[in-house]
Structure 1
Amino acid sequence: MEKPPLPDRADTNREPSPPPYTPYVDPQVTAESGDVKTDGRIDVNLNSKLAKSLAQIAKQELKELKDNYPPLSQQTEPRPSQVCDIKLNIVIQIVGSRGDVQPFIALGNALQSHGHRVRIATHGVFEKFVKDSFLEFFPIGGDPAQLMAYMVKNPGLIPQMQTLRDGEIKKKQRMVAEMLDGCWRSCIADDPTSQEPFVADAIIANPPSFAHVHCAQALGIPVHLMFTMPWSTTRAFPHPLANLSQSLNPEIMNTPTANWVSYGIVEWLTWQGLGDVINRFRSSIDLASVPATEGPCLAEALEIPFTYCWSPALVPRPTDWPSHIDVVGFFFADTPEYTPPPDLAEFLQAGPPPVYIGFGSIVVDDPQKLIKTVVEAVKLAGIRAIVSKGWSELAGTSDENIYYIGDCPHGWLFQQVAAVVHHGGAGTTACGLQNGKPTTIVPFFGDQPFWGDMVAKAGAGPEPIPHKDLEPELLASAMQFCLTPEASEAAQEIAIKMQADSGVSAAVDSFHRNLPLDRMRCSIMPDQVAVWKYKNEKHRLILSKTAAEVLIEHNKINSENIKCYPANPILIVNRRWDPLTGVLSAATATGANMAKSTGEMFYNPYKEFKRSRTNATGDPSSSRSLENRQDSFGTAGKMAGAGLQGFGKFSGTYLRGVMVDIPHAAAEGFRRAPQLYGEKPKEYGHVSDWKSGIAVGGKNFVGGMAGGVAGMFTEPLKGALDGGKDGAIKGLTRGALGMATKMPSGEFRRFVCATECNANTLPFAEAGIGLMAYPFHGISKSIEAAFRTKTPKAIVAARLREGYAHAQRLNLSKEEQEEIIQIFEILLSSMPR
């Protein structure tokens, strides 16, 4: 399964795309942290400010891991399986080539065998492939052939300067926007063919589909990521796209820390390129923008379950990964029945086993040059070969030693050959090794160099040959290496180890094990997933679509009293580490938004003017031109209105920053400041509306006052017990600092005073930032929610449609319906009033 690339084109009828990049972080910091090379690799600058900051976080994280978790070696113990007796609607979102889709076909069929309803959401060209496997299909847009062509030109995550000049980045971003929208519709839209209603109860996705976490947040459902390329931060090896060539100073950054840092650098660069597109998508489904500091590594921060689909025989699971990350083995479907055409069967029998050469879905600029290289290499090596035409339509002159093949299942074909040469897609790599075939990899982009290195490290093939370096002599030598007994023995050894893997079934078990089943069960029908919450003045229940449909039909509940139930709520918060950086970050964001609004004050009137000019014919004698002249006052009015709209946005941004964002950042910074000196900050809950804002503000005020005062006595005592007089003095310092920061307010001059041990002079009356900041933050959320109703209404409508259709399919008997009503009444009577 290959790493799905980023898209490069979309519907030309869409609105103009946003600017290629948005400076979410200081451009200088981002620019100095990594340099994208022409081969798509990223030279990570380990001496950059960002790298050094990440290294400090890595050291702190390692300390917390050692303090709070069992030894790393014990975390790899297999966890017990979880039986999932709830039948779910599961959408699997996939961006990429056929090699990316194929493994999920096997997964989808396995999930079906457990009673789940499975929808594959991917590119339209794979519709027949999916439906032939008896799975539901939903098109998300995007052209995988164009994706592959783009990625060959831009192998890394960040496009080259020539691509920017050619405007391809705009095409890529438009295609990303198209696929994000398609992924959302795949969660709630009816089946395009049968019109059968569908609403997802859970999402499985590969990371480059990008919409997964955001769709799950909007629906309040579980999400599970699955991939073949390391995407989770580890100290075991660097990010597959990163080059760590600098000499390391062990006192500042050792090799494991540098590996850990490389993931953060790549994530920051990726988010800088796509963050604006993703936040525009979030706005379209009524979600708030992801903060600039939270976008990179969002899935890790939210602890989204992750299953890696490679064999631990090839790449062992890193011991520093938490328990919600699994490595289960490659996904293999059953080898299909295949009858080769007579000429292929004749070629296979005419001599020794040939070598397979193919580059699958790779689209190259000069296929004739590539096939010429392949043909010359075959002659130099003195072997027979089967050459796959692939998406580049490789075809050369007929030769008795070369057979050109079209579409043919690898599971069958690789059993017939002596070795394989390909681009290094994970699925193709897995299939070759599963059959014990030595492998030469010619990587083009993405995870392909990573798999080439892993195969070479295992001795099952030579060092990978980057496609730009491919020459007949190099390829001939590589193929001859693959035919040696040593390479064959190494490949056979991997194949034997892979037989112990149970990739697909282990992935299903990983998915089930990470579901929050206790929160997903219906109160009345525990074997059905809860999708509604019922609430009146006295009672609260969570109901399945079947139970709710029956109760509504029999007038036991009012449909106005049910709302969508978030079985797995996802909260994305802007974490603050201390008051200084918190306020500076909030002030910077406010300033950037004000600058953007200032631009709109002038640009929006210009757009209105251009629109009026576009509608004009340009012929002064025409009646249409006369109408345009008569409408000049209307155009001027629209221009003035657009300017006022921009001014209103500017004013609103300023007021929100001053009254909400900056005070809230300060309050959160002070609340979390105790962690700077080793204390764990208290948690007072999440602010989601004005009610919770008032509650959190009150708790923060009372808790901060009490904790600050108590610390002035407990910290010196604790210090004296641990270190005598010197310990008491240090404890007094900690207590003073704690008093300054825990009192949920204080000004920066007070924070500075606290560090000088004068914080005990803080007047209690000034401890009030949090008391005002949290309620105002909650009020702003309530106001925003009042305007964000389109998506919630669409979800409710889809749930009601799907619930009605589901009830019709079940066709419950009168006795079964009466049982549901009876249980409902018993639950109501037993609940406290």
Structure 2
Amino acid sequence: MKDHGTVTAKMSSEDQPPPPYEAVPQESDGIRVTDDGRISIDTSSRLCRTLSRLIPAAPRQSLRPPPSYEDLVPTPGFNLNIVIQIVGSRGDVQPFIALGTELKRIGHRVRIATHNVFEQFVTQTGLEFYHIGGDPADLMAYMVKNPGLIPSMKSLRGGDVQKNRLTMAEILHGCWKSCLMPDPVTNKPFVASAIIANPPSFAHVHCAQALGIPLHLMFTMPWSPTRAFPHPLANLYNIPPDQDWINPVSYSVVDWLSWQGLGGVINDWRKHELGLEPISLSDGPFLLRSLEIPYTYCWSPGLIPKPEDWPANADVCGFFFRDPPDYKPTPEVAAFLSAGPPPVYIGFGSIVIDDPEKIIAILLQAISETGIRAIISRGWIKLTGPELPHILYLDDCPHEWLFQHVSAVVHHGGAGTTACGLRNGKPTVIVPFCGDQPFWEDMISAARAGPDPIPYKQLNVSNLVHALRYCLTSEARQAAHIIANKMQKEEGVKAAVASFQRHLPHFAECALLPQFPACWRYKKGKRRLYLSKVAAEILIENGMIETKKLKTYQPSPIHIEKSRWDPVTGVYSAGMGMTFDILKAGGDIAYKPYQIYKRGTDGNISPCSRQSDSEQGSSQQLLAPPTPVNNGNSVPSLRKARSMNDIRLTGDEPESKEKGKALAMASASARASGRLLGKFASGTMVDVPLAAAEGFRVLPGLYGGTVHERERVKDWKSGLLAGVKTFGISMGESIVDPLYQPYKGARDGGAMGFAGGIFRGTFGTLAKMGHAGVSLVAYPGQGIKRSIQAAFNESTRNGIVVSMHGEGQYLLNECRGKGLQDGMVIEKFIRLGQEYDSGDDSDYV
């Protein structure tokens, strides 16, 4: 079974939740967020130099080609429920439709989870659709204002940031529902077996952790650190001669700053909906890297080869192209194309900007000066102008068909549009607005298939005329045709499917119905076996097993743990985190009742209080299940109050209102007092001792000694075992080390080695005695804490279990309709039990 392992944090002052966007500094030690939201990095700064020392030298590797589809051995051998989560524009969704179509063709069940404006676009291809919320037009407008993921000061002042945070909270909630909820149209149950996602959907790794299923990321821009090129959202300056370390640092800087804005929203969602522990500031930005999540990059290796320092879990497979649509041009389009030489295509797709009039004026003037014919796509900003014989204004038309009939293309640089233009051998002018568009701009220019970059804010008649004239040269046409010839040999979608299946972990098969994947672990006494949803439902219906004996099977568990550099910094950072939590809870003892008092006197929360609620609880409100609207034919739905703060007083008597308000204020104060005591107890009995234990555990690594893997703590039982086991091992080594280390040093290094061995033995004895002593408190305490947290998060696990049983019952009815007999499954279950009792447990775990 593949285990994504444990994420270890190298710094621990991040026990506090990340600050909101407003707290992100616009300039700090050589890193500056520019007016357009991109990240400007001074590579000569002390911070960048420090980060460079933390980046290990990546070994050069012999690059293997993209996975071969023809040689692929079907893995895991049965069909999976795959949800593909996508946040973005139509250009982001379209490649995944091609991928989903191929996955469905080979037998998997595929659900596309994205924004509702793309529902028809998805369903007309025969794939399932699930709405995750969010308006891509709003997201695109935000991205145009902030091309990097970091907000500009203009966006901060305009309130765009808070709106974006609320939108992302809605999307996180929708992505989680897409893993568990039935099909909205057919009501067919669905529980995800694997997740494919683009990185900006953000929910992916957290949903995968909650379900214990594999995750595979696919994207159209680099998201993995490399020395080959910097992060597409970073602008580097003051680059020194020894620049080999600079490009990887740019990825770390962008990841860290990006987490600042969404870390609080994500942690709120993890806590309230997924029942997971929050992620620290050091873990959050680098979570995907630490977990070694596989990536597939959707571009042509003929245009951008896979960097030599990318790991084996990253593949460059080629652009994703869907099957050409059956398109017949309208008479207007056909007449325009036949009326003269091939026109130039100009369009900016789903880009949303504030001044389309300025854009159309520049386009018309440039077209006039170059004397070309042009097709202008209206797009989301509805570009239009005067009717002219040499210009055609066009609404929706498939690029796969249209680009065969043009001489060059001018667009915003979306990966899909870029790929389509290059595949047809068309010289390309890119006017980038945001996201990965500058990256494609640079790649096109470097290949000489297009002119030098023209950023959107620098677009004018002069440079557009120059760019158009270059695209009409033989040099540009030849460069574009060279790329097109390479792309004709690639099958990006099939290679991506092979990449996905190659990186899947081992899926256990059902012990009773091997054609189905295991979803349950069954335990009775010493008997343990894997069961599919169908087999489990048969056994439950026939009284062969108890439902409570079933535990969910996780083929790809994800464990996120903090670690420390040493006991001093570990205890200090854990103590600071505890202090922050205690001070916040102490302040709430008075502040929460004051909020309720203001509600009662003003009818609304004061502006200050409203902002606090927005910051702290916006995601919780959005994550609450939607309440059905009362249409007059039914009784209004009721929901359970989350707290006394949610109680609305309906009595007409002033005395009743006052008593209710006083009760709510007292309750809020009591809850805050309880949180204060809880934070104090958790900090002193668990967090600080655990930080010390982990610091002592890794201390031998500072002098080259052995650092033992930490025991996995899931509940109070495993915590107690980990404490006892760690105590025994560490105490034993602390006794042996003073004798063994000098002997080993003398054997390997003579007199100098003997002296070093004395130091290592003495230092190691202190470290291991400290680890042994503290572990007896730390690990059992951590286990008790996790058992308590699990008890409070039963609703999440129950929701998963209910969805799994629902799908099992649906699949069982389908299988019975196809001839499946319950008796066959029951007979095999009884036989396996008899074989196990007789000592043959080959089919058991």
Asked if Structure 1 and Structure 2 have the same fold, meaning a TM-score greater than 0.5 normalized by the shorter chain, the answer is yes
Matches within 5 A, 1:276-675: 276-283=264-271, 284-517=273-506, 519-615=507-603, 627-675=653-701
Return the letter of the residue paired with 2:573: S
TM superposition shift of 1:460? 0.6
Q: Which moved more, 1:271-280 or 1:336-345?
A: 336-345
Return the letter of the residue paired with 1:81: L
Assess, with a 3 A threshold, how the Cα gap between structure 1 residues 202 and 317 changes in structure 2: closer, same or farther.
same
Question: Whole-Å Cα distance in 2 between the matches of residues 683 and 191 of structure 1?
Answer: 43
Question: Whole-Å Cα distance in 1 between the matches of residues 122 and 25 of structure 2?
Answer: 46
Question: Whole-Å Cα distance in 2 between the matches of residues 520 and 196 of structure 1?
Answer: 24
Tell me the residue number matched to 1:57: 54
Question: Whole-Å Cα distance in 2 between the matches of residues 680 and 340 of structure 1?
Answer: 70
Tell me the residue number matched to 1:145: 137
Q: Which moved more, 1:720-729 or 1:533-542?
A: 720-729
Return the letter of the residue paired with 1:800: H
Identity of aligned residues (%): 51
| SS of equivalent to 1:73 | coil
Equivalent pair of 2:519/2:553 in contact (CA under 8 Å): yes
Equivalent pair of 2:320/2:493 in contact (CA under 8 Å): yes
Question: Whole-Å Cα distance in 2 between the matches of residues 25 and 148 of structure 1?
Answer: 21
String of CA shifts for 1:378-434, please: whole Å, max 9, x gaps.
111121111100000000111111111110000001111111110001111111111
Assess, with a 3 A threshold, how the Cα gap between structure 1 residues 170 and 415 changes in structure 2: closer, same or farther.
same
TM superposition shift of 1:625? 10
TM superposition shift of 1:705? 2.1
TM superposition shift of 1:676? 2.2
Question: Whole-Å Cα distance in 2 between the matches of residues 175 and 27 of structure 1?
Answer: 20
String of CA shifts for 1:753-796, please: whole Å, max 9, x gaps.
xxxxxxxxxxxxxx400121111111100111111111111111
Tell me the residue number matched to 1:785: 790
Equivalent pair of 1:744/1:771 in contact (CA under 8 Å): no
The answer on 1:714 being equivalent to 2:705 is no
Return the letter of the residue paired with 1:530: A
Equivalent pair of 1:684/1:699 in contact (CA under 8 Å): no
Return the letter of the residue paired with 1:542: Y
Q: Which moved more, 1:570-579 or 1:272-281?
A: 570-579
String of CA shifts for 1:164-221, please: whole Å, max 9, x gaps.
1111111100000001000011111111111111111111111111111111111111
Identify the match of residue 685 of structure 1 among 680, 704, 711.
Answer: 711
Question: Whole-Å Cα distance in 2 between the matches of residues 738 and 351 of structure 1?
Answer: 83
| SS of equivalent to 1:244 | strand
Equivalent pair of 1:308/1:326 in contact (CA under 8 Å): yes
Assess, with a 3 A threshold, how the Cα gap between structure 1 residues 23 and 710 changes in structure 2: closer, same or farther.
farther
Question: Whole-Å Cα distance in 2 between the matches of residues 385 and 582 of structure 1?
Answer: 64
Question: Whole-Å Cα distance in 2 between the matches of residues 412 and 815 of structure 1?
Answer: 47
Question: Whole-Å Cα distance in 2 between the matches of residues 796 and 631 of structure 1?
Answer: 42
TM superposition shift of 1:715? 2.7
Return the letter of the residue paired with 2:41: V
Question: Whole-Å Cα distance in 1 between the matches of residues 51 and 555 of structure 2?
Answer: 34
Identify the match of residue 234 of structure 1 among 202, 226, 229.
Answer: 226
| SS of equivalent to 1:772 | helix
Return the letter of the residue paired with 1:536: K
- The alignment of Structure 1 onto Structure 2 pairs a total of residues equal to 776
TM superposition shift of 1:369? 0.7
| SS of equivalent to 1:337 | coil
Question: Whole-Å Cα distance in 2 between the matches of residues 29 and 741 of structure 1?
Answer: 42
Q: Which has the higher contact order (CA 8 A, sep 6+)?
A: 2
Question: Whole-Å Cα distance in 2 between the matches of residues 344 and 414 of structure 1?
Answer: 13
TM superposition shift of 1:26? 10
The answer on 1:179 being equivalent to 2:168 is no
Tell me the residue number matched to 1:38: 35
Equivalent pair of 1:460/1:491 in contact (CA under 8 Å): yes
| SS of equivalent to 2:296 | strand
Identify the match of residue 759 of structure 2 among 733, 749, 758.
Answer: 733
Question: Whole-Å Cα distance in 2 between the matches of residues 44 and 449 of structure 1?
Answer: 17
String of CA shifts for 1:641-676, please: whole Å, max 9, x gaps.
212221221221122111101110111111112222
Question: Whole-Å Cα distance in 1 between the matches of residues 49 and 21 of structure 2?
Answer: 19
Q: Runs of 4+ in structure 1 displaced over 4 angstroms? A: 23-30, 47-50, 74-80, 614-617, 623-626, 812-816
Tell me the residue number matched to 1:81: 72
TM superposition shift of 1:49? 5.6
Identify the match of residue 111 of structure 2 among 119, 122, 129.
Answer: 119
Equivalent pair of 1:237/1:256 in contact (CA under 8 Å): no
Assess, with a 3 A threshold, how the Cα gap between structure 1 residues 95 and 616 changes in structure 2: closer, same or farther.
closer
Q: Which moved more, 1:485-494 or 1:583-592?
A: 583-592
Identify the match of residue 803 of structure 1 among 801, 808, 813.
Answer: 808
Assess, with a 3 A threshold, how the Cα gap between structure 1 residues 680 and 383 changes in structure 2: closer, same or farther.
farther
Assess, with a 3 A threshold, how the Cα gap between structure 1 residues 82 and 738 changes in structure 2: closer, same or farther.
farther
Assess, with a 3 A threshold, how the Cα gap between structure 1 residues 679 and 317 changes in structure 2: closer, same or farther.
farther
Which structure 1 segments of 5+ residues have no match?
A: 1-18, 618-622, 746-766
Equivalent pair of 1:360/1:388 in contact (CA under 8 Å): yes
TM superposition shift of 1:29? 11
String of CA shifts for 1:58-77, please: whole Å, max 9, x gaps.
0xx32xx55xxxx5226778
String of CA shifts for 1:255-278, please: whole Å, max 9, x gaps.
221111111111110111100000
Assess, with a 3 A threshold, how the Cα gap between structure 1 residues 178 and 260 changes in structure 2: closer, same or farther.
same
Return the letter of the residue paired with 1:538: K
Identify the match of residue 830 of structure 2 among 821, 825, 828.
Answer: 825
Question: Whole-Å Cα distance in 1 between the matches of residues 247 and 334 of structure 2?
Answer: 48
TM superposition shift of 1:102? 0.5
String of CA shifts for 1:589-641, please: whole Å, max 9, x gaps.
22222232233222211221122235599xxxxx9997235532432232222
TM superposition shift of 1:503? 0.8
Question: Whole-Å Cα distance in 1 between the matches of residues 388 and 326 of structure 2?
Answer: 28
String of CA shifts for 1:61-98, please: whole Å, max 9, x gaps.
32xx55xxxx5226778687341221111111111111
| SS of equivalent to 1:353 | coil
Question: Whole-Å Cα distance in 2 between the matches of residues 83 and 624 of structure 1?
Answer: 62
Equivalent pair of 1:420/1:438 in contact (CA under 8 Å): yes
Tell me the residue number matched to 1:223: 215
Question: Whole-Å Cα distance in 1 between the matches of residues 383 and 820 of structure 2?
Answer: 65
Tell me the residue number matched to 1:9: none
Q: Which moved more, 1:799-808 or 1:719-728?
A: 719-728
TM superposition shift of 1:365? 0.3
Assess, with a 3 A threshold, how the Cα gap between structure 1 residues 277 and 704 changes in structure 2: closer, same or farther.
same
TM superposition shift of 1:163? 1.2
TM superposition shift of 1:743? 3.0
Return the letter of the residue paired with 1:220: G
Question: Whole-Å Cα distance in 2 between the matches of residues 624 and 716 of structure 1?
Answer: 79
Assess, with a 3 A threshold, how the Cα gap between structure 1 residues 461 and 225 changes in structure 2: closer, same or farther.
same
Assess, with a 3 A threshold, how the Cα gap between structure 1 residues 195 and 624 changes in structure 2: closer, same or farther.
closer
| SS of equivalent to 1:195 | coil
Equivalent pair of 1:354/1:385 in contact (CA under 8 Å): yes
Question: Whole-Å Cα distance in 1 between the matches of residues 820 and 199 of structure 2?
Answer: 46
Identify the match of residue 197 of structure 2 among 172, 196, 205.
Answer: 205
Tell me the residue number matched to 1:261: 249
Which structure 2 segments of 5+ residues have no match?
A: 1-15, 606-648, 840-845
Equivalent pair of 1:705/1:744 in contact (CA under 8 Å): no
